[in-house]
Amino acid sequence: MSLLCYSQTLTRRIGDETVTVTVSVEDEPDEGPWTGGDEDYDDDDEAEQARGKDGSAEDEDEDEDEDDGDDLAVFFDVRVTKQRGPALVFECVTDGVNVDIMSVQLRPEGQQQQPDTAYGGPEFSTLDVALQDSFATYLADRGVDHVLAEYLVELSIDKEQREYVNWLKACAKFVGGGK
């Protein structure tokens, strides 16, 4: 089981705001909205789902098409700053289609991390749905939408492939004795 992690920063200016997206990639998410989200899920449920209503096994090819094992979660932060003052920081995750906001923090000017003693804000999922939607619209207006989500996943896949090729070359050089 491998774990790929890296980060990259994308920046753009929109009016008097600077929008900075810092991307962190992990190829095997621990949790997320597209991993099933069923805390009570177990292997018996999977076996039961694999059997048809008549108790016979379903075609295995169909199951392989549905779960290719290549789930990719792209975690990223969006930092919106103005000329002076605090920054509004969104912690997000995408599967390449949806952008899910996990938290929103208002950080003091010049601080990259929320101080341990500061209130970081409520859990995003507990906010009123209208407020959650307003934050999503705020981000979409700044280009953080399904187009960026798709780009971030493609960026992640490309980076993983380049790292894999470099790894193969390094292994070949090692095994070949540096030849």
What is the distance between the alpha carbons of residues 113 and 51, in angstroms, rounded to a whole number?
A: 49
160 CB-contact burial (10 Å; exposed 0-12 / middle 13-18 / buried 19+): middle
Tens-place pLDDT, residues 69-78: 456 788 999 9
pLDDT at 48 over 70: no
Confidence band of 25 (pLDDT split at 50, 70, 90)? low
Return mean pLDDT, the chain: 77
Mean pLDDT of 108-123: 78
Residues 6 or more apart whose CB falls under 8 angstroms from that of 145 comprise 99, 139
**176 or 178, higher pLDDT:** 176
pLDDT at 42 over 70: no
Q: What is the CATH number of domain 5-32+70-175?
A: 3.10.280.10
What pTM was estimated for this model as a whole?
0.66
The predicted pLDDT at position 26 comes to 53
90: left (phi over 0), alpha (psi -120 to 50) or beta: beta
**127 or 30, higher pLDDT:** 127
Tell me the HSE value of 34 on the side-chain side, using a 13 A CA sphere.
18
Confidence band of 113 (pLDDT split at 50, 70, 90)? confident
pLDDT at 45 over 70: no
The predicted pLDDT at position 8 comes to 83
The predicted pLDDT at position 91 comes to 95
Supply angle C-alpha 31, 36, 42, rounded to 5. 95
